[in-house]
Amino acid sequence: MARVEAETYHIPVMLSECMDHLRIAGSGAYVDGTLGGGGHTSVMLERCADGGRVIAFDADEVAIQHCQRRFADELSRGEQSRLRLIHANFSTMREHLQPASVNGVLLDLGVSSYQFDHHVRGFSFRLNAPLDMRFSPEGETAADILNSRSEEQLSTLFYNYGDEPQSRRIARAIVQRRALAAFRTTIDLRDLVVQHIPPHHQAKTMARLFQALRIAVNDELARLESTLLDIIPLLAPHGRIVVMSYHSGEDRIVKNVFRDNSDRLAIITKKAIEASEDEQHKNPRSRSARLRVAERRAE
């Protein structure tokens, strides 16, 4: 497997805000539910003393292997290591952690630059790759969805998961096109957009469609809601959950789960935090980011 350098992963968004809200103390236990290139994990380790520990999850084997190299010195300490890497989706957190055992959990729901720009699973419309989009090998692919869902189902998917204003038009074109030839690659979908959407709207339309398909393939919204509910009992009293989302559907779920569980959670961010203008200028990926924080109430 090809070596992946640190710069191929995205710059962590709102890094200082995330760390400040986690309130990392020297001897606590903290979870990075979305390891990626290890940007957040690295700073979490810096703020942990020898008595602290960081548990990091990622379903992507490439991310795990990359971070095994990045944190080789820390991992080489064996039982004394403050870092534990778990090759699994964050939705499995309750299978690996004990109730009331962690002092903070961070979820950065963004997809890494590596997955967009280098992955062979078709996350990006800029590369010719199979229309897969699965984070793990199981389940249906993006091509399966395009080739099997009804026009109405596709239109709803693009509108709900991608906020795509031309969802009906695109869904109709997909059904017509697949009658002639099945969708197999990212280029197949990109060519369809080019044929039906004006040039100045094509890039944003493709970004919305690819986002919608990725969310659907990985069942991301349902998985997010169930994971948030699983995390609450894992938090020690006054432990915090910090979630950064990039899509209105994700942010709505986080907001609603925090609100609906106010008997167990104190909401720290009454309004979602956005990246500063300076960060948005330097890092365009931060423009859609929304950060919400809640704290486990004492029993």
Q: Classify residue 125: in a domain, yes or no.
A: no
pLDDT of residue 289: 93
Q: What pLDDT was estimated at residue 112?
A: 55
Residue 165 CA to its chain's centroid (Å): 23
Has residue 155 been placed in a domain? yes
What is the mean predicted confidence (pLDDT) over 200-216? 92
Average of per-residue pLDDT across 22-49: 92
* Domains held by the chain: number: 2
Residue 11: pLDDT band (50, 70, 90) is confident
Q: Which range is least confidently modeled, 75-84, 110-119, 131-140?
A: 110-119
User: What kind and span of H or E run contains 256?
Assistant: helix 248-260
Position with higher pLDDT, 62 vs 250: 250
> In the sheet that 290-296 helps form, which strands lie side by side, from edge to edge?
83-86, 53-57, 29-32, 102-108, 235-245, 290-296, 265-267
- Reply yes or no on whether the pLDDT at 121 is more than 70: no
Please say which residue of 185, 217, 249 terminates a domain.
217
Determine the average pLDDT of the residues in 157-183. 96
Residue 192 in any domain: the answer is: yes
Which CATH number characterizes residue 251's domain? 3.40.50.150
- 28, pLDDT greater than 50: yes
In a domain, 121, yes or no: no
CA distance 213 to 143: 9
Are residues 95 and 142 located together in one domain of the fold? no
Least Cα distance to 252 among 202, 200, 209, 215 occurs for: 215
- Those residues whose C-beta lies under 8 Å from the C-beta of residue 98, and which sit 6 or more positions away, are 234
Q: Are residues 100 and 224 in the same domain?
A: yes
Mean pLDDT of 58-66: 88
36 domain-assigned: yes
- The DSSP bridge partners found for residue 245 are 290
Q: Is the pLDDT of residue 124 over 90?
A: no
Same domain, 239 and 211: no
Of 14-28, 30-44, 128-142, 215-229, the poorest mean pLDDT is in 128-142
Rounded average pLDDT over 98-124: 75
In this structure, are 225 and 185 located in the same domain?
Answer: no
Q: How confident is the model at residue 25 (pLDDT cuts 50, 70, 90)?
A: confident
120 pLDDT more than 70: no
Q: What are the start-end ranges of the E strands in the chain? A: 29-32, 53-57, 83-86, 102-108, 235-245, 265-267, 290-296
Domain match, 140 and 188 both: yes
Note whether residue 127 is domain-resident: no
**pLDDT at site 5:** 47
Q: What is the pLDDT of residue 182?
A: 97
Domain of 179, CATH number, reads 1.10.150.170
Residue 60 belongs to domain spanning: 6-114+220-296
Burial zone of 80 (CB within 10 Å; 0-12 exposed, 13-18 middle, 19+ buried): exposed
Label residue 139 by pLDDT band (50, 70, 90). confident
Q: pTM to 2 decimals?
A: 0.85
Q: With cut-offs at 50, 70 and 90, classify the pLDDT of residue 3.
A: very low
Q: How far apart are CA 101 and CA 111, in angstroms?
A: 28
Q: In the chain, what percentage of residues exceed pLDDT 90?
A: 74
Residue 44: phi and psi, rounded to 5, are -60, -40
CB atoms within 10 A of CB 243: 30
**Average pLDDT over the chain, rounded to whole?**
90
| Residue 98 placed within a domain | yes
Domain co-membership, 72 together with 26: yes
Query: Do 153 and 275 have their domain in common?
Result: no
Range with lowest mean pLDDT among 32-36, 136-140, 246-250 = 136-140
